[in-house]
Amino acid sequence: MPSATEPTGPGKSPNVPRFRAGFARWNRKLHFYSGLFLLFFIWLFALSGLLLNHPTWSFAESWNNRQETNYDREITAPGPLVKGDLGQAREIMRQLGIKGEILWTTTRTDAGPFDFQVRRPGHFFFIKADLTRKRVTVRQCDVNLWGVIKVLHTFTGVQMDDARNRRDWVLTSLWAFSMDAVAAGLIFMVLSSVYMWFELPQKRLLGALVLGLGSLSCGLFCIGLRWLF
């Protein structure tokens, strides 16, 4: 009896079944381990999505239960070697011992007052600096674990409508890279699932029906809402 890797008819290449068997084996392995690696990332985004979609859930309230601290500090005005608003903001943060992503909220029109925000998951810093008087006022807001989970869902460090807000904290860039990896991993898992489904002839009809239903549902929100309503 010929083996699974031997030719079974005219023109059949023994390498094709062997390649398909190897590809299927590695596809299953990568699908399995990718799912384990992405498991808690997927749970994080699923849970944070639910929290954002249901802001009235009292158990997950974070902002109203925040801890707020206000304090003033005397600083050394950034020297002439510190260039631009970003450099001055980083120098002020260094003196205050604050780390996080800088968020610009207003356009600076005066050399004296200097307002900006610093955010990192769980912590919000509203900084008002008077470089002429060499004093800084800080309002610090700390939120609970639910607040951290919700922030991570949308924590990117950039804003589409404001080119000034760019990633300037290394951990923000690392988080954004991780989210790219999660997105790529999910794309791979979907494609590998489609391949494994197609390799099961007895499941093709039911799988096609489910795939079609999912595609129609997604198309309703992506296209139908724009053109039909």
Radius of gyration of the chain (CA): 27
Q: What share of the chain is helix, strand, coil (3-state, %, to 5)?
A: 55, 15, 30
Classify burial at 35, counting beta carbons within 10 Å of its beta carbon; exposed 0-12, middle 13-18, buried 19 or more: middle
- The pTM (predicted TM-score) of the whole model is 0.75
pLDDT at residue 85 in the model: 84
Contact yes or no for 61/159 (Cβ under 8 A): no
CA distances from 116 to 66, 74, 127, 142, 156 (A): 20, 17, 5, 17, 17
CA distances from 138 to 130, 169, 172, 186 (A): 12, 19, 22, 41
Contact yes or no for 127/105 (Cβ under 8 A): no
pLDDT at residue 162 in the model: 66
pLDDT at residue 109 in the model: 61
Region 8-29: mean pLDDT is 72
Contact yes or no for 113/129 (Cβ under 8 A): yes
- Which residues, at least 6 apart from 142, have a Cβ–Cβ distance to it below 8 Å? 66, 67, 68, 69, 122, 123, 124
Question: Residue 68 forms beta bridges with which residues?
Answer: 141
Contact yes or no for 136/114 (Cβ under 8 A): no
Q: Would you say residue 102 has pLDDT above 80?
A: yes
Question: Residue 138 forms beta bridges with which residues?
Answer: 71, 127
Q: Would you say residue 103 has pLDDT above 50?
A: yes
Region 170-192: mean pLDDT is 92
pLDDT at residue 123 in the model: 94
Region 137-152: mean pLDDT is 94
| Percentage of the chain lying above the pLDDT 70 cut | 85
pLDDT band at 2 (very low <50, low <70, confident <90, very high): very low
Average pLDDT value over all residues in the chain: 85
pLDDT band at 219 (very low <50, low <70, confident <90, very high): confident
Contact yes or no for 100/167 (Cβ under 8 A): no
Region 69-98: mean pLDDT is 88
- Which residues, at least 6 apart from 69, have a Cβ–Cβ distance to it below 8 Å? 139, 140, 142
CA distances from 20 to 12, 84, 127 (A): 14, 58, 60
Contact yes or no for 55/203 (Cβ under 8 A): no
pLDDT at residue 149 in the model: 93
pLDDT band at 28 (very low <50, low <70, confident <90, very high): very high
Which is higher by pLDDT, 176 or 19?
Answer: 176
